[in-house]
A and B are shown apart, each in its own frame.
Chain A
Amino acid sequence: GQQLNQSPQSMFIQEGEDVSMNCTSSSIFNTWLWYKQEPGEGPVLLIALYKAGELTSNGRLTAQFGITRKDSFLNISASIPSDVGIYFCAGPDGSSNTGKLIFGQGTTLQVKP
């Protein structure tokens, strides 16, 4: 089945630094979603991408839908302590005409004040 490979697995950075993480797949996705999850909570949608090549920002966050439709990246600029959490990429399972999402393994971000 479809799989999403997310990297890096974890990051430990200094406050103020920029962060970049990416997600790749061997198959095409028509939508890319980026979620953030904090301990004990459900994933919160950060950015949704619907078109190849699309570049979308949400505050300090920027995400791009790769032109091959097999990858996406998320950048966080000038990180702050509240950026701590697990970031997931996700996309709809193309083998079923339903809303089933495939998730990457997640990137754990820690920010040192």
Chain B
Amino acid sequence: KAGVTQTPRYLIKTRGQQVTLSCSPISGHRSVSWYQQTPGQGLQFLFEYFSETQRNKGNFPGRFSGRQFSNSRSEMNVSTLELGDSALYLCASSWRLAGDTQYFGPGTRLTVL
């Protein structure tokens, strides 16, 4: 069974640009969560999608958004990039919305110059 895949793996952008990251969950998994990982803040929850609906959102500005498609694939978008958005963005999938183990993808390393 294929794991969680994320594309692209690496991305370099400049301040003010926008970026879209993609995540394909494990086959059959319907819940997708996104996390931001930085050395200073650790792993922080961005948002979670289940059945194409955002079910929970972390404490991030509105520049961070996401969506989920009918095949459970998910994208997250960051507009008007700032230097502080440089991070590893991780996607995790699970079968159910809550009470289920989450499996992580390899992440997308975003560098903002």
Contacts and interface: CB of A to CB of B under 8 A. Distances in A.
B102 A99 contact: yes
Main secondary structure, interface of B, reads strand
A54 to B, nearest CB: 14
Contacts of B101: 33, 45, 48
A102 B41 CA distance: 12
A40 interface: yes
Q: Is the interface of A mostly helix, strand, loop or mixed?
A: loop
A35 B102 CA distance: 10
A42 B43 contact: no
Interface residues of B, number: 29
Nearest to A1: B59
A92 B98 contact: yes
A65 interface: no
Q: Which 7 residue pairs are nearest across A and B when measured between Cβ atoms?
A: A42-B104, A103-B43, A98-B56, A42-B107, A43-B104, A42-B106, A98-B55
Given A43-B90, A45-B102, 11 more contacts: A40-B107, A42-B107, A48-B101, A88-B43, A93-B45, A97-B97, A98-B48, A98-B55, A99-B31, A100-B58, A103-B43
